[in-house]
Amino acid sequence: VVSEPQAQIMAKGDIYVKTGSVLTLNCRMSQGPHDLGTVAWFRDNQPVVTSARSENDVDQQPRITVETEWSEALESRLKIFSARVTDSGNYSCVPTTAKRASVIVHVINGK
């Protein structure tokens, strides 16, 4: 029996972050042909759009970034800087060569 590779988001249960902080989601897939794989990120079944530039300041780093690395595993890291309440939702990491993984993110007002 061949089992289909499964992506994993490195989190235990729901994730809680405060507004203004950095949200980092790590997705890992250890099996399969990584050289062929890419990873897409979704929030509530909508593609996560990475920021090319900040809306206000062209010198600022992008608010949303995705980094994908191929080593002994395929790893993808979604980072959202200055998290907003509207960033809350069900995030899914969807590799082309494995089953998706999901996690619920709650962005809460905090000081």
CB 11 within 8 A of CB 105: no
Residue given tokens 């979704």 in the structure block: 42
Phi-psi region of 32 (alpha: psi -120 to 50; beta: other; left: phi over 0): left
**The pair of three-digit structure tokens given for residue 28, joined into one six-digit string:** 């890992």
The mean pLDDT value of the chain amounts to 86
Whether 97 shows a pLDDT value over 70: the answer reads yes
Q: HSE on the CB side for 35, CA within 13 Å?
A: 0
The pLDDT value recorded for residue 98 is 84
pTM: 0.84
Whether 100 shows a pLDDT value over 70: the answer reads yes
Whether 34 shows a pLDDT value over 60: the answer reads no
The pLDDT value recorded for residue 52 is 63
Q: How many residues does the chain have?
A: 111
Whether 105 shows a pLDDT value over 60: the answer reads yes
The pLDDT value recorded for residue 21 is 97
Q: How many helices (H) and strands (E) does the chain have?
A: 0, 9
Domains recognised in the chain with CATH numbers: 8-108 (2.60.40.10)
- pLDDT tens by residue, 44-86: 999 998 876 545 555 667 899 999 888 778 899 999 999 999 9
CB 85 within 8 A of CB 19: yes
Please give the DSSP secondary-structure letter assigned to residue 6. Answer: B
CB 29 within 8 A of CB 6: yes
The pLDDT value recorded for residue 13 is 92
The pLDDT value recorded for residue 15 is 97
